[in-house]
């Protein structure tokens, strides 16, 4: 007879077989049997967070930087509800997470027992799938299935809810089934005809553009290599969404910078004027398209995506290729080499006018700002941070707001999986715990959370986690004492009525750092900024860096509300002429 | 939303809404209906009627029939989103005008009144396969099977015969001929 294992043991047996080495969690009544077993599974290291939301974001940071699923362990009731924001965040940004939650014993379910909540009910809309395990014999298969669902197709979060009595019961353990070839369900639903059609469109186009997104990153490092190959082979310009940054080198001449609401002038104008748009792993999000009726009116649109429901959801496309980016790109490159081996040469002539136009847009230098010798401009702070860290293979996370956009604009990424930011949900408080997760996955690397002082306070308690595990994360706060993006919109859209966007009582971040037993550094002037950043980089402990920046700087360029791509506000000088009026105010 | 000035994407185009019957084959497991219905409510799709029951005891497959309205783009999204749900096996989509598909709903009418009215009610239902399920001196319960709009009409027409209560199912659908939906 084979050995019997308790439900709690099975949880860890499954994790071992799924090659889990770190889990992020917080104990509580309904998961105590699982925590009791933790010590018997030496290959699995538990990271104790300070709040379950932190566990979720840390797991996201871990997953995005490593390409492996992030694993969370929380208790029932408040443990589960606290992790909901992180699950929703991961769902929006397609991050693979497996969340194990405790539940009250099965005989108490539905009785409003202590720390009971309808966890599967609450998390149903924010997970790819979830399970309530009511039979010990289903447990192992369910957990294996959970890992499969989280990591295949378009990745996303899943949750397995395990009642406490199930954790005590015993049964045989089932190893994961040997992967049947693609399980009968392939994620590639395209054929050679579509690839041929794509190449035909490419060879006909005189104003092409690649528009790439997080799907390239999710498809693995090989997808980024293939993307580079394709972009160089075609000579086409390329722009990227917020989530796609890093899949193509940010300092390459063919890269037009990020597009969208705070994207560059050249990227957005090229999107508007192009005759062929090749969307690779992006989803025509509303922050990208601007006014949808006037979105890139004269282009043929190609959409490469693994998720069939992303096709024609927001924007109708002319050619849809449903498949994994890596596979589609490799087929495209193969065909391109066979059929049009001299593509680059023959195309140079054809796209030369297009490139001239792009250079003209580029010469506007839309990311420029007015410098200062007295106060630190936030853009300057990011620029200096980039210059001083660019040869270090650093990992950057962010919170949400102006600082996030400035980081996306001014920090140049050359590799995938180096940039972790909450795009879809826009979760303030994401960056600090995400940095914890990234540092856990990459203990020797430089991990920086570019933060705002308002966002970072939402999950500041995770500094304590960083200190406990000697994770030398660097929290680089652009402190303007305002919720900057809220303030900016109030200035531009609500007649400068700065309702509740100023934080009148902020902690002293240097003292706060000391209270957490990490290092606090403050920079007040542009003159001292470099030295302070170097001091931060030379500190082998967690650091909170309080960078006091200009309080009223706005983030430009910006597509104002209700405007298409080609009507951007460029900066303080341009602002007056394109005021946002009327109904737009209430609709942003 | 005429001439919207928002950065969120509003469309000014007024597109025609079509009625579609969506049939979904799902694993009959706890919460599966909530997943399907939650998808509709969460994404703002309409449900006009809903019928669900297990159709394969051995494989534990349930068949959900949903009548919905939407633009072609929305209906397409509904199908694609449904197919992403883990317990969903297959999704079929029929237009209400589709001649190759049979649509039926069932209704129960309770009529209370004198004999001549009860008979009048039964007569009025003649076209819709009426079955007298219960009869007393003062009342009838009549079952009919018909299309939605026919039942709508009967619910109105029977008022004059003493209709006091209506209970009806959602639509169910099946293709004509020997073929089945794969």
pLDDT value for A148: 96
Cβ pair A544, A459 in contact under 8 A: no
CA distance B97 to chain A (A): 24
Closest CA to A373 of A525, A261, A208: A525
Closest CA to A429 of A51, A28, A95, A23: A51
C-alpha dist (Å) from residue A267 to A356, A402, A415, A572: 14, 19, 20, 20
Of A156-160, A228-232, A308-312, A346-350, the poorest mean pLDDT is in: A346-350
Q: How far is it, in rounded angstroms, from Cα A295 to Cα A293?
A: 6
Give per-residue pLDDT as tens, A129-147: 999 999 999 999 999 999 9
pLDDT value for A476: 98
pLDDT value at A498 more than 90: yes
Mean pLDDT over the full length of chain A: 94
CB under 8 Å to A455, separation ≥6 — which residues?
Answer: A399, A400, A401, A403, A428, A429, A430, A431
Of A104-118, A375-389, A547-561, the poorest mean pLDDT is in: A547-561
Q: How far is it, in rounded angstroms, from Cα A163 to Cα A135?
A: 10
Known catalytic membership, residue A415: no
Query: Which run of H or of E encompasses A103?
Result: strand A97-103
Cβ pair A241, A212 in contact under 8 A: yes
Residue A450: band (very low, low, confident or very high) from pLDDT cuts 50, 70, 90: very high
A to B CB pairs, distance under 8 Å: 78
CA distance B25 to chain A (A): 17
Residue A184: band (very low, low, confident or very high) from pLDDT cuts 50, 70, 90: very low
Q: How far is it, in rounded angstroms, from Cα A460 to Cα A516?
A: 10
Residues in B closer than 8 angstroms to A261, CB to CB, are 7
What percent of chain A stands above pLDDT 90? 88
CB under 8 Å to B123, separation ≥6 — which residues?
Answer: none
Dig out the tokens for A261 from the structure. 């609401």
Say whether A244 sits in a helix, a strand or coil: coil
Q: How far is it, in rounded angstroms, from Cα A66 to Cα A68?
A: 5
**Facing residue for B80 by CB, picked from A308, A559, A561:** A308
Interchain CB distance below 8 Å, A128 and B35: no
The residue annotated as part of the active site, out of A115, A461, A481, A567, is A115
pLDDT value at A180 more than 70: no
Known catalytic membership, residue A115: yes
Instruction: Please compute the mean of the pLDDT values over residues A460-478 and round it to a whole number.
Output: 98
Residue A185: band (very low, low, confident or very high) from pLDDT cuts 50, 70, 90: low
Residues in A closer than 8 angstroms to B86, CB to CB, are 128-129, 149
Residues in A closer than 8 angstroms to B33, CB to CB, are none
pLDDT value at A485 more than 50: yes
CA distance B173 to chain A (A): 25
Interchain CB distance below 8 Å, B10 and A587: yes
pLDDT value at A588 more than 60: no
Q: How far is it, in rounded angstroms, from Cα B77 to Cα B44?
A: 11
Interchain CB distance below 8 Å, A583 and B6: yes
**pTM for the model:** 0.94
Give per-residue pLDDT as tens, A369-396: 999 999 999 999 999 999 999 999 999 9
Instruction: Please compute the mean of the pLDDT values over residues A425-431 and round it to a whole number.
Output: 98
Give per-residue pLDDT as tens, A201-241: 999 999 999 999 999 999 999 999 999 999 999 999 999 99
CA distance B40 to chain A (A): 11
pLDDT value at A548 more than 80: yes
Interchain CB distance below 8 Å, B5 and A584: yes
pLDDT value for A583: 42
Q: How far is it, in rounded angstroms, from Cα A113 to Cα A85?
A: 24
B27 Cα distance to chain centroid: 20
pLDDT value for A565: 87
Mutation pick from B8, B10, B36 vs chain A, by most beta carbons of A within 10 Å, is B8
Cβ pair A257, A426 in contact under 8 A: no
Q: Which residue has the higher pLDDT, B172 or B15?
A: B172
Half-sphere exposure of A123 (CA within 13 A, CB side): 36
Query: Which run of H or of E encompasses A422?
Result: none
Dig out the tokens for A495 from the structure. 């007649």
pLDDT value at B122 more than 70: yes
* Phi, psi for A406 (deg, rounded to 5): -65, -40
pLDDT value at A447 more than 50: yes
Residue A113's CB is within 10 A of a number of other CB atoms, namely 16
Instruction: Please compute the mean of the pLDDT values over residues B109-119 and round it to a whole number.
Output: 95
pLDDT value at A563 more than 50: yes
Mutation pick from B4, B5, B32, B82 vs chain A, by most beta carbons of A within 10 Å, is B5
ipTM of the complex: 0.89
Instruction: Please compute the mean of the pLDDT values over residues A57-74 and round it to a whole number.
Output: 98
Q: How far is it, in rounded angstroms, from Cα B65 to Cα A357?
A: 54
- As a dihedral over the C-alpha atoms of residue A135, residue A138, residue A143, residue A144, rounded to 10 degrees, the angle is 180
Residues in B closer than 8 angstroms to A559, CB to CB, are 7
Residue A546: band (very low, low, confident or very high) from pLDDT cuts 50, 70, 90: very high
pLDDT value for A345: 76
DSSP state of A174: P
pLDDT value for A573: 61
Give per-residue pLDDT as tens, A390-399: 999 999 999 9
CB under 8 Å to A449, separation ≥6 — which residues?
Answer: A396, A397, A398, A399, A431, A432, A434, A435, A456, A473, A474, A475, A476
Q: Characterise B31 by phi-psi region: left (phi > 0), alpha (psi -120 to 50), beta (else).
A: left
Helix, strand and coil percent figures for chain B, each rounded to 5: 30, 40, 35
pLDDT value for A198: 96
pLDDT value at A575 more than 90: no
Q: How far is it, in rounded angstroms, from Cα A52 to Cα A222?
A: 33
pLDDT value for A272: 96
Mean pLDDT over the full length of chain B: 91
Q: How far is it, in rounded angstroms, from Cα A455 to Cα A571?
A: 25
Cβ pair A178, A214 in contact under 8 A: no
CB under 8 Å to A225, separation ≥6 — which residues?
Answer: none
Q: Which residue has the tokens 């409510």?
A: B41
Closest CA to A557 of A543, A567, A546: A567
pLDDT value for B10: 59
Q: Report the chain A residue with the minimal C-alpha distance to residue B75.
A: A313
Residue A574: band (very low, low, confident or very high) from pLDDT cuts 50, 70, 90: low
Q: How far is it, in rounded angstroms, from Cα A233 to Cα A84?
A: 44
Mutation pick from B1, B2, B6 vs chain A, by most beta carbons of A within 10 Å, is B6
Cβ pair A101, A162 in contact under 8 A: yes
Q: How far is it, in rounded angstroms, from Cα A366 to Cα A357?
A: 15
**Facing residue for B8 by CB, picked from A128, A149, A286:** A286
Give per-residue pLDDT as tens, A271-290: 999 999 999 999 999 899 88
Instruction: Please compute the mean of the pLDDT values over residues A522-551 and round it to a whole number.
Output: 98
Interchain CB distance below 8 Å, B42 and A125: yes
Say whether A183 sits in a helix, a strand or coil: helix
CB under 8 Å to A360, separation ≥6 — which residues?
Answer: none
Residue B2: band (very low, low, confident or very high) from pLDDT cuts 50, 70, 90: very low
DSSP state of A541: S
């Amino acid at each position: 007879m084979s050995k019997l294992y308790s439900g709690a043991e099975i949880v860890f047996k499954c994790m071992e077989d799924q090659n889990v080495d770190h889990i992020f969690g917080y104990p509580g009544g309904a998961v105590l049997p699982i925590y009791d077993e933790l010590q018997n599974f030496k290959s699995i290291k538990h990271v104790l967070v300070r709040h379950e939301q932190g566990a979720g974001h840390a797991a996201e940071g871990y997953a995005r930087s490593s390409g492996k699923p992030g694993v969370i362990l929380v208790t029932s009731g408040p443990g589960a509800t606290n992790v909901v924001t992180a699950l929703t965040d991961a769902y929006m940004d397609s991050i693979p997470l497996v969340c194990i939650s405790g539940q009250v014993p099965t005989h108490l379910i539905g009785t409003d027992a202590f720390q009971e909540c309808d966890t599967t009910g609450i998390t149903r809309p924010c997970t790819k799938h979830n399970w309530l395990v009511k039979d010990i014999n289903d447990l192992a298969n369910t957990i294996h299935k959970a890992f499969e669902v989280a990591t295949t197709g378009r990745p996303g979060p899943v949750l397995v809810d395990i009642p406490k009595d199930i954790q005590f019961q015993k049964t045989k353990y089932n190893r994961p089934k040997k992967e049947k070839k693609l399980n009968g369900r392939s994620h590639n639903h395209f054929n050679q005809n579509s690839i041929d059609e794509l190449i035909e469109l490419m060879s006909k186009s005189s104003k092409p553009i690649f528009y790439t997104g997080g799907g390239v990153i999710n498809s693995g490092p090989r997808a980024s290599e293939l993307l580079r190959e394709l972009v160089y082979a075609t000579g086409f310009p390329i722009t990227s969404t917020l989530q796609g940054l890093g899949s193509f080198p940010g300092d390459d001449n063919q890269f037009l910078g990020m597009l969208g609401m705070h994207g560059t002038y050249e990227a957005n104008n090229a999107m508007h004027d192009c005759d062929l748009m090749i969307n690779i792993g992006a989803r025509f999000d509303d922050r990208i398209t601007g006014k949808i009726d006037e979105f890139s009116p004269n282009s043929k649109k190609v959409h490469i995506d693994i998720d069939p429901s992303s096709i024609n959801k927001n924007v109708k496309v002319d050619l849809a290729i449903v498949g994994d980016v890596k596979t589609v790109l490799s087929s495209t490159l193969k065909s391109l080499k066979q059929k049009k081996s001299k593509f680059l040469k023959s195309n140079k002539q054809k796209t030369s006018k297009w490139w001239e136009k792009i250079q003209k847009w580029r010469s506007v230098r839309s990311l420029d700002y007015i410098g200062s010798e007295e106060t630190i401009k936030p853009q300057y702070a990011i620029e200096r941070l980039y210059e001083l860290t660019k040869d270090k293979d650093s990992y950057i996370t962010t919170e949400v707001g102006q600082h996030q956009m400035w980081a996306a604009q001014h920090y140049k990424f050359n590799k995938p999986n180096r940039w972790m930011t909450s795009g879809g949900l826009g979760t303030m408080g994401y960056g600090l715990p995400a940095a914890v997760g990234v540092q856990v996955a990459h203990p020797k690397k430089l991990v920086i959370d570019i933060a705002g002082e308002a966002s970072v306070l939402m999950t500041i308690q995770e500094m304590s986690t960083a200190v406990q595990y000697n994770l030398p994360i660097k929290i680089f706060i652009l402190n303007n004492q305002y919720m900057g993006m809220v303030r900016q919109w109030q200035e531009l859209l609500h007649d400068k009525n700065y309702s509740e966007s100023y934080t009148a009582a902020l902690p002293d971040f240097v003292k706060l750092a000391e209270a957490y037993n990490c290092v606090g550094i403050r920079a007040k002037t542009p003159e001292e900024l470099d030295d302070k950043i170097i001091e931060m980089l030379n500190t082998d402990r967690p650091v909170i860096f309080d960078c006091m920046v200009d309080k009223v700087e706005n983030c430009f360029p910006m597509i104002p509300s209700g405007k298409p791509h080609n009507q951007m506000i460029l900066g303080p000088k341009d602002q007056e002429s394109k005021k946002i009026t009327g109904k737009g105010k209430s609709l942003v | 939303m005429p001439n919207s000035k928002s950065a969120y994407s509003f469309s000014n185009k007024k597109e025609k809404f079509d009625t579609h019957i969506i049939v979904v084959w799902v694993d009959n497991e706890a919460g599966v209906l909530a997943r399907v219905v939650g998808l509709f409510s969460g994404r703002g799709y309409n449900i006009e009627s809903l019928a669900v029951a297990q159709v394969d005891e051995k494989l534990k497959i349930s068949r959900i029939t949903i009548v919905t309205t939407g633009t072609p783009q929305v209906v397409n999204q509904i199908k694609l989103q449904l197919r992403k749900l883990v317990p969903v096996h297959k999704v079929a989509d029929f237009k209400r005008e589709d001649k190759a598909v049979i649509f039926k709903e069932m209704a129960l009418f309770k009529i209370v009144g004198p004999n001549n009215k009860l008979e009048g009610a039964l007569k009025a239902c003649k076209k819709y396969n009426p079955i007298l399920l219960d009869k007393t001196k003062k009342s009838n319960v009549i079952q009919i099977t018909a299309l939605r709009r026919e039942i709508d009409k009967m619910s109105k027409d029977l008022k004059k015969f003493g209709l006091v209560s209506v209970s009806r199912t959602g639509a169910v659908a099946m293709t004509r001929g020997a073929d089945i939906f794969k």
